[in-house]
């Protein structure tokens, strides 16, 4: 055994030399020869049995990391245009790592579903764990296609509904699934290209008329694979559920808890009440009661499995895909007015300065004193109570607002990120037609409920952390230095400043937002600040919530619609010994995987909801072709400029060819374009006037014609012909090649950069 390395030394070597992990490489590294190789083999076998190493193709590696060369499956571009890839052979115990694909101009064209062999590089401090460079494409798995079937003499074609899709699919005669012409269908790739050079597909499902009322959300549900039908077993369990009784619960039915929700809300999962603290002058007692979903959804049940699969409810303008069947979400777990309902309630103590100084959780039975809307509550506080809010004004509503005003003091002190990005609301008629697109009002009643929910979530995280109970934290890490540099450069170009050389706090970002408030660049700075943020996620390790400026945060207040909250409820039940329906050992063991899964389902729902909004906006604007709108540049890509319309928030594309009569050089780092001849710079936030040129409801695509940019009239450039792009030089009508134009653009960019002090850090472009 003399001279053998320890297990930790072996693991350290493999981590530092991922390309040299065969047994002979390890033996050579530690000078192991002869019979000692038998002892080395035994050590490696022990590490493999302990789960610390994974042996594959004669080499050893950490099972919770990816090898330096891996097979990946390419995914669709995200909302920032980045391409992520999914590891094909991940078998680690932790969450599946995210891999950002970094394409190069020399790479072949790739599509969603392509399998690619890549060289991986680990990264830190980003929302992904690896970057990937292509070695070669090794084929594709059958991919799903959602589109419109166009019947032909022998089979037909599928026209995809994705905005980014630029090819049709050939459907052979025997693979049409009896689909009708113009029908919305789901299909999958079925073989090599057909005689017309189109890829082949076979139809697997017929979804009906794409123009039918309220078909828009149905498209998103199928396109993103959101489960919209509950298993029979889950429905049976929900139907057999009975209302919870008082046994084992604290009786809070005399406490005048009320729910405050949108006027059209179908379920009510949180109730609130506040009163002055009798023990502290200027202090307040705030109660937040949340529906006890864990009572009805025990771990391991069919209801639990289907809720885990969905991860969360998904909301569309015309429907909701709920996490739980309606028997629970709309009935037994909804805190309806005047009905006894099971809940988990937290009693929170706020000091005169609004700080949370104490809290206590109870498993209870409550009875809502009233179900109120935000608008009705705000009207009552503003001096216009109605028959329902009038009797509640002094005993319930005013104490709630008093406690909220105290909580605002603590909020102001901690300085959470204060973005000002209005939310759109699409109003539909009974037949599913868009009647208007509005921006939602932000009332004090909204802010009151949001602040109390944040406090309750903080209390839940603190309570479980103090009891050393495993849970899922809601983590939001601070932005990367690269994204901060980009934000700082955008701010400087707008004449604003973002402090540098200090530990970043949300207060620094808020000062930047305050500088921009009320100016022409306000929306630009808000959007750019939002894009600099990392995505929040769920995990069993606590990394704090940067955006809310909180050290501990866990989702507790919406177990009807978020699985993470259900996990936290189960943790509270187990930690307090309230029953056998708490977080079990299997649930604890799977926390890492659950956090990764529900973080992905959350993103899936966000993309589906955004795509649905885009389609409804395109349908709304399709009746306004030729109309003129004011807007601002919201994004810049290689292929064109995105304009956000002021009136309704719709995003449309102005193709690069329509920007003017010269070649534009694209700078991915600064998100800008620079004219090759004029040196004119186009940046995010510039005001623009556009005309609606094309709106395609089935894809959500919106094509715009640029009329004015930054107050100056724009002359569209020439169309690009079959012989390849040619660009007007602006000199006597002569033309120049893209290569020469690009060279001039680079020189213009270099000349501009040389005027600035210091040197910019070069960042590789990401496709």
**Range 182-191 average pLDDT:** 84
553, 473 contact by CB (below 8 A): yes
**Range 153-169 average pLDDT:** 82
Q: Are residues 357 and 427 in the same domain?
A: yes
pLDDT for position 416 = 96
Is 80 exceeded by the pLDDT of residue 45?
no
**Range 636-659 average pLDDT:** 88
Is residue 445 situated within a structural domain? yes
DSSP designation for 96: P
Q: Are residues 303 and 170 in the same domain?
A: no
**For residue 697, what pLDDT band results from cuts at 50, 70 and 90?**
confident
Model confidence pLDDT, tens digit, residues 711-760: 888 776 554 333 333 323 232 333 334 444 444 444 444 544 444 433 33
Q: Which of 23-32, 404-413, 612-621 has the lowest mean pLDDT?
A: 23-32
Is 70 exceeded by the pLDDT of residue 364?
yes
**Range 401-418 average pLDDT:** 96
Q: What CATH number did the domain enclosing 46 receive?
A: 1.10.10
pLDDT for position 149 = 94
Query: Where does a domain end: 610, 635, 669?
Result: 610
Q: Which of 37, 43, 35 lies closest to 10 in space, CA to CA?
A: 43
Model confidence pLDDT, tens digit, residues 344-362: 999 999 999 999 999 999 9
pLDDT for position 689 = 94
pLDDT for position 18 = 55
Which residue has better confidence, 16 or 113? 113
Is residue 369 situated within a structural domain? yes
Which residue has better confidence, 24 or 379? 379
pLDDT for position 195 = 58
Q: What CATH number did the domain enclosing 652 receive?
A: 2.40.50.140
**For residue 764, what pLDDT band results from cuts at 50, 70 and 90?**
very low
pLDDT for position 64 = 62
Share of the chain above pLDDT 70, in %: 85
Is 90 exceeded by the pLDDT of residue 586?
yes
Is 90 exceeded by the pLDDT of residue 69?
no
Q: Are residues 86 and 44 in the same domain?
A: no
Is 80 exceeded by the pLDDT of residue 266?
no
Q: Are residues 185 and 317 in the same domain?
A: no
- Look up the domain containing 95 and give its range: 69-140
**Range 532-542 average pLDDT:** 94
Q: Are residues 562 and 636 in the same domain?
A: no
Q: Which of 162-166, 381-385, 437-441, 503-507 has the lowest mean pLDDT?
A: 162-166
**Range 200-217 average pLDDT:** 82
Q: Which of 272, 281, 401, 410 lies closest to 346 in space, CA to CA?
A: 272
pLDDT for position 145 = 84
Q: Which of 565, 519, 404, 536 lies closest to 477 in space, CA to CA?
A: 536
Which residues on adjacent β-strands are paired with residue 260? 372
Which residue has better confidence, 408 or 62? 408
pLDDT for position 711 = 85
pLDDT for position 733 = 34
Q: In terms of C-beta density within 10 A (0-12 exposed, 13-18 middle, 19 or more buried), how is residue 42 classed? A: exposed
Strands 370-373 and 258-261: what pairing? parallel
Which residues on adjacent β-strands are paired with residue 273? 287
**Range 412-438 average pLDDT:** 87
Q: Are residues 268 and 326 in the same domain?
A: yes
CB atoms within 10 A of CB 157: 18
pLDDT for position 321 = 93
Query: Where does a domain end: 545, 575, 610?
Result: 610
442: phi then psi, degrees, rounded to nearest 5:
-110, 105
Which residue has better confidence, 480 or 90? 480
What's this model's pTM, rounded to 2 decimal places?
A: 0.72
Share of the chain above pLDDT 90, in %: 46
**For residue 332, what pLDDT band results from cuts at 50, 70 and 90?**
very high
Is 70 exceeded by the pLDDT of residue 164?
no
**For residue 641, what pLDDT band results from cuts at 50, 70 and 90?**
very high
* Cα 463 from Cα 466, distance rounded (Å): 5
Q: Are residues 498 and 547 in the same domain?
A: no
**For residue 311, what pLDDT band results from cuts at 50, 70 and 90?**
very high
Choose the most confident range, by mean pLDDT, from 396-410, 432-446, 529-543, 749-763.
Answer: 396-410
Q: Are residues 367 and 419 in the same domain?
A: yes
Is residue 547 situated within a structural domain? yes
405, 399 contact by CB (below 8 A): no
Choose the most confident range, by mean pLDDT, from 205-209, 290-294, 634-638.
Answer: 290-294
What CA dihedral angle connects 122, 124, 127 and 130, to 10 degrees? Answer: 0
Q: Which of 198, 113, 191 lies closest to 159 in space, CA to CA?
A: 198
Query: Where does a domain end: 140, 174, 189?
Result: 140
> Mean pLDDT of all residues in the chain?
84
pLDDT for position 53 = 59
Q: Are residues 438 and 367 in the same domain?
A: yes
For the chain, what is the domain count?
Answer: 6
**Range 360-371 average pLDDT:** 96
CB atoms within 10 A of CB 339: 13
184, 219 contact by CB (below 8 A): yes
Q: What CATH number did the domain enclosing 181 receive?
A: 2.40.50
Phi-psi region of 348 (alpha: psi -120 to 50; beta: other; left: phi over 0): beta
Is residue 215 situated within a structural domain? no
Q: Are residues 155 and 194 in the same domain?
A: yes
Q: Are residues 498 and 569 in the same domain?
A: no
Is 90 exceeded by the pLDDT of residue 36?
no
Which tokens hold the place of 182?
A: 């113009």
Q: Are residues 312 and 403 in the same domain?
A: yes
* Cα 523 from Cα 428, distance rounded (Å): 27
Is residue 760 situated within a structural domain? no
Q: In terms of C-beta density within 10 A (0-12 exposed, 13-18 middle, 19 or more buried), how is residue 276 classed? A: middle
Is residue 454 situated within a structural domain? yes
pLDDT for position 91 = 58
pLDDT for position 740 = 43
Q: Which of 51-60, 421-430, 619-628 has the lowest mean pLDDT?
A: 51-60
Is 70 exceeded by the pLDDT of residue 695?
yes
Strands 672-675 and 664-667: what pairing? antiparallel
Q: Which of 375-379, 412-416, 483-487, 600-604 has the lowest mean pLDDT?
A: 483-487
Q: Which of 214-223, 267-276, 463-472, 610-619 has the lowest mean pLDDT?
A: 214-223
**For residue 261, what pLDDT band results from cuts at 50, 70 and 90?**
very high
pLDDT for position 213 = 63
The CA-CA-CA angle for residues 105, 106, 111, to 5°, reads 75
Q: Which of 102, 217, 68, 213 lies closest to 609 in space, CA to CA?
A: 217
Q: How far is CA 98 from the centre of its chain?
A: 14
Is residue 765 situated within a structural domain? no
Strands 156-160 and 59-61: what pairing? unpaired
Which residue has better confidence, 25 or 254? 254
pLDDT for position 49 = 65
Is residue 1 situated within a structural domain? no
């Amino acid at each position: 055994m003399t001279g053998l390395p320890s297990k930790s030394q072996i693991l350290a070597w493999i981590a530092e030399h991922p390309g040299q992990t065969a047994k002979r490489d390890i033996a050579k590294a530690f000078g192991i020869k002869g019979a000692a190789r038998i002892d080395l083999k035994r050590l490696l076998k022990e590490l493999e049995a302990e789960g610390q190493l994974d042996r594959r193709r004669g080499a050893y590696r950490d099972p919770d990391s990816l090898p330096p060369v891996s097979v990946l499956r390419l995914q669709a571009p995200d909302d920032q245009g980045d391409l992520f890839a999914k590891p094909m052979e991940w078998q680690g115990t932790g969450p599946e790592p995210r891999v950002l694909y970094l394409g190069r101009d020399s790479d072949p064209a790739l599509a969603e579903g392509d399998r690619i062999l890549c060289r991986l590089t680990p990264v830190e401090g980003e929302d992904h764990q690896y970057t990937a460079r292509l070695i070669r494409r090794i084929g594709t798995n059958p991919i799903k296609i959602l589109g419109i079937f166009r019947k032909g003499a022998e089979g037909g074609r599928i026209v995809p509904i994705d905005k980014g899709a630029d090819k049709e699919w050939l459907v052979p005669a025997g693979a049409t699934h009896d689909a009708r012409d113009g029908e919305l269908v789901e299909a999958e790739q079925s073989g090599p290209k057909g005689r017309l050079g189109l890829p082949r597909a076979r139809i697997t499902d017929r979804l009906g008329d794409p123009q039918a009322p309220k078909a828009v959300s149905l498209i998103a549900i199928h396109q993103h694979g959101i489960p919209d039908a509950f298993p029979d077993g889950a429905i049976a369990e929900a139907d057999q559920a009975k209302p919870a009784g008082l046994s084992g619960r604290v009786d809070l039915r005399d406490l005048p808890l009320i729910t405050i929700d949108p006027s059209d809300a179908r379920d009510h999962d949180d109730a609130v009440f506040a009163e002055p603290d009798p023990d502290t002058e200027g202090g307040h007692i705030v109660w937040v009661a949340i529906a006890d979903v864990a009572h009805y959804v025990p771990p391991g049940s069919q209801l639990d499995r289907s809720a885990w699969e969905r991860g969360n409810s998904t909301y569309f303008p015309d429907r909701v895909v709920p996490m739980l069947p309606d028997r629970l979400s709309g009935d037994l777990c909804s805190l309806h007015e005047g009905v006894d309902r099971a809940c988990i309630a937290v009693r929170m103590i706020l000091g005169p300065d609004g700080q949370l100084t104490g809290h206590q959780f109870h498993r209870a039975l409550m009875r809502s004193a009233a179900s109120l809307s935000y608008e009705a509550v705000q009207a009552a506080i503003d001096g216009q109570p109605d028959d329902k809010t009038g009797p509640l004004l002094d005993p319930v509503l005013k104490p709630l607002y008093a406690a909220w005003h105290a909580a605002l003091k603590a909020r102001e002190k901690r300085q959470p990120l204060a973005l000002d990005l209005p939310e759109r609301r699409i109003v539909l008629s009974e037949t599913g037609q868009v009647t208007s697109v509005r921006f939602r009002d932000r009332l004090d009643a909204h802010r009151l409920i949001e602040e109390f929910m944040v406090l309750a979530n903080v209390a839940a995280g603190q309570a479980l952390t103090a009891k050393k109970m495993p849970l899922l934290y809601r983590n939001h890490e601070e932005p990367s230095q690269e994204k901060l540099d980009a934000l700082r450069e955008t701010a400087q170009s707008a004449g604003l400043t973002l402090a540098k050389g200090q530990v970043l706090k949300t207060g620094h970002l808020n000062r930047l937002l305050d500088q921009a408030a009320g100016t022409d660049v306000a929306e630009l700075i808000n959007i750019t600040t939002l894009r600099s943020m990392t995505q929040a996620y769920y995990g069993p390790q606590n990394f704090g919530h940067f955006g809310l400026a909180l050290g501990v945060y866990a989702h507790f207040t919406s177990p009807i619609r978020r699985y993470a909250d259900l996990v936290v409820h189960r943790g509270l039940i187990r930690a307090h010994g309230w029953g056998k329906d708490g977080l079990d050992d299997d649930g604890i063991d799977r926390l890492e995987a659950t956090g990764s899964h529900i973080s992905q389902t959350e993103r899936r729902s966000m993309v589906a909801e955004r795509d649905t909004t885009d389609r409804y906006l395109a349908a709304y604007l399709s009746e306004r072709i030729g109309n003129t709108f004011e807007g601002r540049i919201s994004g810049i890509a290689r292929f064109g400029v995105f304009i956000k319309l002021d009136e309704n928030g719709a995003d449309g594309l102005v193709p690069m060819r329509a920007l003017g009569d010269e070649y534009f050089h694209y700078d991915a780092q600064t998100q800008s374009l620079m004219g090759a001849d004029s040196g004119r710079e186009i940046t995010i936030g510039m005001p623009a006037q556009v005309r609606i040129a094309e709106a395609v409801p089935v894809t959500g695509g919106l094509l715009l014609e640029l009329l004015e940019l930054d107050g100056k009239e724009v002359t569209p450039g020439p169309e690009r012909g079959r012989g390849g792009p040619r660009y007007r030089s602006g000199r006597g009508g002569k033309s120049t090649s893209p290569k020469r134009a690009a060279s001039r653009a680079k020189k213009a960019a270099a000349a501009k950069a040389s005027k600035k002090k210091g040197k910019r850090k070069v960042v590789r472009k990401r496709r």
